[in-house]
Amino acid sequence: MSISQIETLISKRTVLKTKVTKFRSFITKFDKNDPIGQINVTERLNDLSQIYSDYETIQSEIELINPEQEKDRDEFIDNYYMAKTEARLFLSNSLSIQSTLVDVFGLDSESLAWVPRPVASVILLFPTSDMHQVFSEKQINEIKEKGQTLSSDLYYVKQIVSNACGTVALIHSIANNCDKITISDGPFKKLLEESRNMTPLERGELLQKSADSILNAHRELANEGQTTANPNDEVNHHFVAFIHKDGYLYEMDGRKEFPINHGSTTPENLLEDAAKVCRQYMEREADNHNFTVMALTSTEN
């Protein structure tokens, strides 16, 4: 590797480090009770995960040339986890002091045992691909042919804005757990109350009205050196939520025609049963490691 190539890698690494720092500054721009703030921070969590992945790739190449550069990795990881923690605190505070989003670091029984209980929902971030699209279409067609049980109490919203998947997953997680999660009075609670008796499409249209505000916030961030994101741009990742309702495990994906019933579960077994479905996602994309699993937990106990 030439000197110029090394310098290019180090330059790219510096940009990624700066983005993490700016992410932490970005969080402070929003009020915790502002749904636009919740939307922006949720969507940017994926950006943070991608930054981490890009950094790891670049840093590994640099360390092959100069092992002493490993000190930079420690500094970056510390800042990265501080950023994630601050984002999670923002989101948990925006819901209530009795709820928090936590990382699920593994899907084996030992790793799951570390997740605080009770778990209200499990959120999966996964890479989209042609393989996933084929599987999804086959799954939907089979359900249309055979049918499935759907609880009448499910709150389901169609995703109209293409890169609002994190927002939709969060809404699915909260709206289907209002008996477990205390939501403070404010715009977010008002949004749920207004849309409670709407159809999934009407809920999606109501959410779409926030698109201009989301884009304006993204533009403000872009002026500080980040990459702007249009709400209707194509993305190569997606969030889905897994929730318990009336004895069943449901996969809530706003891009699909309806929720997916994955069989029986209980509030106590939600995490373990959702983890099984998450593992199936990972097995279908065995060569791709860009998966993130989070749990929305109630901490009142």
User: Among candidates 260, 278, 272, which has minimal Cα distance to 156?
Assistant: 260
Would residue 165 show up in a list of annotated catalytic residues for this protein? yes
Give the Cα separation of 280 and 301 in Å (integer).
31
Catalytic: which of 165, 172, 237, 278? 165
User: Among candidates 237, 297, 291, 245, which has minimal Cα distance to 271?
Assistant: 297
Instruction: Please tell me the total number of residues recorded for the chain in this structure.
Output: 301
Would residue 238 show up in a list of annotated catalytic residues for this protein? yes
CB-based burial label for 212 (10 Å; 0-12, 13-18, 19+) = exposed
Strand duo 248-252 + 99-103: pairing: unpaired
Catalytic: which of 172, 218, 237, 238? 238
User: Among candidates 162, 168, 243, which has minimal Cα distance to 200?
Assistant: 168
* DSSP three-state, residue 61: helix
CB-based burial label for 37 (10 Å; 0-12, 13-18, 19+) = buried
Residues that are catalytic: 165, 238
